[in-house]
Structure 1
């Protein structure tokens, strides 16, 4: 054993490689050390046991597996200049730089691969999107792509178009894809004849051999694709459990010698799926959420449990903001991976690592430049001028980060969403004249902030914000059906692969609602007002939106509702609205349309009770409330609003996130102040306002049941009179109105409003501080940038 230790400690040559600001100690026989120790029997520690000879260092092969996910047609380099320091930061490297970076890798070592994780196209910026994403496919064809997982956005234009891209049957319309698309768990896509050979549109895996090592890349996608696309888009397709499909294939490929290494390329949240990977999988590559991840058992900042102690996981993020890399060392003698290290190479380092000569002659770069020139003229068309405000999507702040990612939070109401919903309400009509009752928009349909350039909004600006080209339309539905759509904003029960626990549904200004985030699924919506009056659960309303939403996309509305369209695209309707309102009148909404409030469910009779509020502010731009005023009975409380954007659950999004955390406040109400000079039992209405206007009206029917007991004492009355105003609303009607058989309080609603869930939840007053921390928190999306 002493001999072995001497060999291991002194007989090795250590080299040090600095890569991406990380230092990796790479003993040339480091894998030999691991292999030797692993193969020494327990008796080898005895002095009389002969040492096991070390493996030949030439049997250790180092492999670099590069990947990109969620490119979404972002083919150009994007830079940002700091207004104070004038420092230029590269935010997106662009495909020309990626090509040249990989060209430099190839010159150093042939033992590398490059793969794509899906959503290469769709929801694209103007340059690519306005040209049917042909520029993106053409540029990717210039890169050494082994294979790509199919993403849901590959199907944005329908299965026929995707098939034409793959089989090349419509070259005048769509550029043929030069690499295989993978989707092992997608059944029903069919096949085509390729040079006389029947070829599936979606293959299960792709094989790449490097230095005698066979690497299998298994492609799969999350099961929630039907929820992300219009129903007709996925007709005839089934999406099996991706984990089970990957496990079966991985075991077979290794058992029959087809593969030495298995890489699972699953278009879904890599962090969520990392612990689920079977032992036969050596690397997990993920995407969809637009959140960059790298974790392993070497030097990762994130430690996750896994049955496989060598499993590495990576997701590059989105667009070309990072290049993902998993660096493996494989022992050909032992036939196993001995080290696995995941790395993120940021955009700035990609550009810095790209040879200048290569950039000048890059074939991918030539495709990009041609596309830019073709799109430039049409993109400059002015929609409206004189604009003095801007509209942005929701954001959240991840722990450890200083700046939130643009559009990172789809779980919040946004100023852009409200603007689009108002446009839908205005532009969608029943008979060419009669507007729909209200408009709604899904947060995932908004793909870029709307920021004027020198007061001008161009066609390119609005295209980036609404790139999907869905038709506008409307569907008739009852108030109860729409209430369920609001309940369906919370997605924790959608399916096992869901990575966004909440998707906000933006509403036009004439529709407001309240919710209680502490309540169970499907019981959170506590009031809905349409044009200031309670929505009738039995009445039928015409709801305007995009066809994607109305047909069940993102899971708000039930599938099968009748949808009426009139041939207008969402973006064109939006542009018409902007022209009608004109620049100076275009302003950003500051008053929230959906507010969270938790009231005590049980009757209170003494002490004090809390009212927890959230969703009082927008996360971006205008509309950040400084304080909020709550009125209950004779009591009025004005408290500060916490507008912290930190999302504690961003590192553990599997927890139940029930609402956004933007604009939180808590007010405590002593019973004596609420009762004032009243005695007996009362249902006191609750109203809420901030500096931007009234958030919760008496018409919402939200009440707190209070037992004021007998006549109050002079001392109590004196205390309650101090600091109180006449803003409190008097209780109305029968004191027992709104109470269920068990004595708990329901919202007091006019008779025509039916089936709304009762307000509030049981509250342990002594533990209120803890409750305030546990009430649902915003979120979602863990996207630095968004993708559906």
Structure 2
């Protein structure tokens, strides 16, 4: 490990690792036979600037990770420390506030050798990556200086030339180990498209196979693919399922590629995938691994290679837990050199981030799935997403904005204030916390969309087939609501959109605001890029929140749902029994209020209260909070009517114009009877 220290000021510090506390699931050392070489690959991914330990999240922190790497290098001297991207970007405040320079410094200090680029390496654009991050630190470039090799074989300039180094080779005695780097080809939809407009992102397998052939020509004996693309779950079956992008990529890889170190989906797995062409070899399965996120785990691969032939004799792998469940501290003690860098970063961040911005009236949470942490779902409506959207609408009112939208991936932490979700509110919120929620520094862009385009935007929440996240629920500002049919075909799901209770027609024009990432079509929301009369507000998303709190004094959760699913509208037939299935009636944050029942009316007639099941979701869609509404449709309600769904406890109220078809008499019913004995408006009982 090289003791490189340069965060803001150089610190004198002793290099070397602290003592090992314990080894979790590491491959035990075995003496290689004469004529064989053992090579260790240590892998991380999706570090996202988590330089400090986090007991709650199980992130070991950079100083402990450094010791883990050092300790395992002592056991296996022939080691490459590698990564699968997203080392920087979407970072915690200590790194974010300093342009991720502390993260660059700690990874340099622990001797990171090589990494694929991830999509977050492009958060500030291609030019920032190659001209700042990848360039040596200097007086002219104080925030750069990554000393590892960044690879991106599938990142091409528009003329087809490589935009980044494609491969890298490390030699150990008679054995050459080659590395390929690739990033998800969805990157243009995951970062601000303007920042990568000069680039094309090739299919990962196509680029990997081309690079593998080049490495073979250069004499590489072992070839490792570092790819910022990952399996959608930790299950083996999902990793090899060719219906998703990752499984399709694995299936298409050349057998010359001996191992895959992956990332992007933040999953921790250690799979062995059979390779048909390896039948009869000493090794018949390819390791496919990922180390989760934030320095929680470390992948370990041990290759034993015959020196004379270059053949791989064996491959062993392990997933090393760096902070075991229930432990009071990380498995590995802190390296003093790296600890000094992180301490300086934390001290500077504390000064910059300690300012109180205002109060929280209650905790603001991201969405979650059952058994998952807050933020484990980007597919459900959240109080935080809606609150941030409302602050951004407020910040752009001067540009005529009526509605604002917020992408869930831009929310990187909950906003809980000093009460941390369990104490008393109101509670102060600091600049550091606000910055941790929105670390990307996107500007806010105003534009005009038609009602038809708004419906298209809402349809785009259902992501393209094969996407690692099938649904992305946009946060929306106050007064904006819509109903949708989750069972309908693509392009036909959105039923009605309202603003302040009034329906938006397809040819209406609505002034909206989004961050610059969405404005350029990020996250596959291509319709935002079609907006006209565009105006960049010049306000950073974080600054919008800071200014909102300064003006309003506080912000808090609005528990009213802005979208509600309604299925079964075809059963609305006069003189028949109708059954409507309602969904998306509940938020998923810890302790957030759920209506025990919703009131439903049709054509002004109260149909009664219907119980809500508020169980947490198990998938990544926005269907939690369900109710079944069954009632007899009176004959007097035939025609166009308004369906209204109200949750008294949360304040939810959405409406939908529906068509009630006429039907014949229903046996056993008085055709004049209405629910609760009421009469539709404008009619008299005969």
Q: Which of the five TM-score ranges fits, normalised by the shorter chain? A: 0.7 to 0.9
Q: Is the 8 A contact 2:158 2:200 kept in 1?
A: no
Q: Is the 8 A contact 1:77 1:92 kept in 2?
A: yes
Q: Is the 8 A contact 2:577 2:630 kept in 1?
A: yes
CA deviations 1:672-724 (Å, max 9, x no partner) are: x222xx379555543222233664545x21344351x13x55x4249977xx4
Structure number with larger C-alpha Rg: 1
Matched, 1:674 2:633: yes
Separation of aligned partners in 2, 1:384 and 1:172: 35
1:224 to 183, 186, 193: 186
2:339 to 347, 365, 373: 365
Deviation at 1:473?
2.7
Residues 587 and 553 of structure 1: is their aligned pair in 2 closer, same or farther, counting only changes over 3 Å?
A: same
1:290 to 259, 263, 266: 266
Separation of aligned partners in 2, 1:624 and 1:230: 36
Residues 458 and 679 of structure 1: is their aligned pair in 2 closer, same or farther, counting only changes over 3 Å?
A: closer
Separation of aligned partners in 2, 1:246 and 1:489: 30
Residues 64 and 629 of structure 1: is their aligned pair in 2 closer, same or farther, counting only changes over 3 Å?
A: farther
Correspondences of 1:628-639 after superposition (within 5 Å): 628-632=598-602, 636=607, 638-639=609-610
2:290 to 312, 315, 318: 315
1:613 match = 582
Separation of aligned partners in 1, 2:186 and 2:504: 31
Secondary structure in 2 matching 1:232: helix
Q: Using structure 1 for the length normalisation, give the TM-score.
A: 0.73
2:396 match = 428
Secondary structure in 1 matching 2:212: helix
Separation of aligned partners in 2, 1:589 and 1:440: 15
1:97 match = 64
Separation of aligned partners in 2, 1:613 and 1:599: 9
1:472 match = 444
Separation of aligned partners in 1, 2:430 and 2:444: 21
1:528 match = 497
Matched, 1:393 2:366: yes
CA deviations 1:416-458 (Å, max 9, x no partner) are: 0111111112111335xxx411111111111110011142100
Q: Is the 8 A contact 1:630 1:689 kept in 2?
A: yes
Separation of aligned partners in 1, 2:678 and 2:211: 68
Q: Is the 8 A contact 2:639 2:659 kept in 1?
A: no
2:595 to 607, 619, 625: 625
CA deviations 1:506-564 (Å, max 9, x no partner) are: 11111100111111222111110011111122122210121222222222234253531
Separation of aligned partners in 2, 1:111 and 1:727: 82
Residues 448 and 305 of structure 1: is their aligned pair in 2 closer, same or farther, counting only changes over 3 Å?
A: farther
Residues 624 and 208 of structure 1: is their aligned pair in 2 closer, same or farther, counting only changes over 3 Å?
A: farther
Separation of aligned partners in 2, 1:638 and 1:60: 74
Separation of aligned partners in 1, 2:677 and 2:479: 28
Q: Using structure 2 for the length normalisation, give the TM-score.
A: 0.83
Residues 558 and 212 of structure 1: is their aligned pair in 2 closer, same or farther, counting only changes over 3 Å?
A: same
Correspondences of 1:735-750 after superposition (within 5 Å): none
Q: In terms of mean alpha carbon deviation, does 612-621 or 305-314 score higher?
A: 305-314
Residues 116 and 569 of structure 1: is their aligned pair in 2 closer, same or farther, counting only changes over 3 Å?
A: same
Deviation at 1:200?
7.4
Deviation at 1:227?
1.1
Secondary structure in 2 matching 1:164: helix
Separation of aligned partners in 2, 1:113 and 1:728: 78
Separation of aligned partners in 1, 2:224 and 2:343: 34
Secondary structure in 2 matching 1:596: strand
Separation of aligned partners in 2, 1:26 and 1:365: 28
Secondary structure in 2 matching 1:217: strand
Separation of aligned partners in 1, 2:673 and 2:311: 75
1:249 match = 211
CA deviations 1:269-293 (Å, max 9, x no partner) are: 2433344433222211111122222
1:537 to 497, 506, 513: 506
Q: Is the 8 A contact 2:403 2:480 kept in 1?
A: yes
1:107 match = 74
1:563 match = 534
Q: CA RMSD in A?
A: 3.3
Q: Is the 8 A contact 1:65 1:325 kept in 2?
A: yes
Separation of aligned partners in 2, 1:306 and 1:617: 48
Separation of aligned partners in 1, 2:28 and 2:673: 70
Deviation at 1:164?
2.0
Separation of aligned partners in 2, 1:451 and 1:728: 48
2:380 match = 412
Residues 731 and 111 of structure 1: is their aligned pair in 2 closer, same or farther, counting only changes over 3 Å?
A: farther
Secondary structure in 2 matching 1:544: strand
Separation of aligned partners in 1, 2:46 and 2:654: 43
Deviation at 1:305?
9.3
1:262 match = 223
Q: Is the 8 A contact 1:685 1:731 kept in 2?
A: no
1:208 to 170, 182, 187: 170
Separation of aligned partners in 2, 1:283 and 1:117: 13
1:692 to 644, 649, 658: 649
Secondary structure in 2 matching 1:617: coil
Deviation at 1:175?
2.2
1:177 to 139, 142, 146: 146
Gaps of 5+ in 1: 1-18, 30-56, 81-89, 192-198, 298-303, 398-402, 649-656, 733-788
Q: Is the 8 A contact 1:599 1:704 kept in 2?
A: no
Residues 668 and 330 of structure 1: is their aligned pair in 2 closer, same or farther, counting only changes over 3 Å?
A: farther
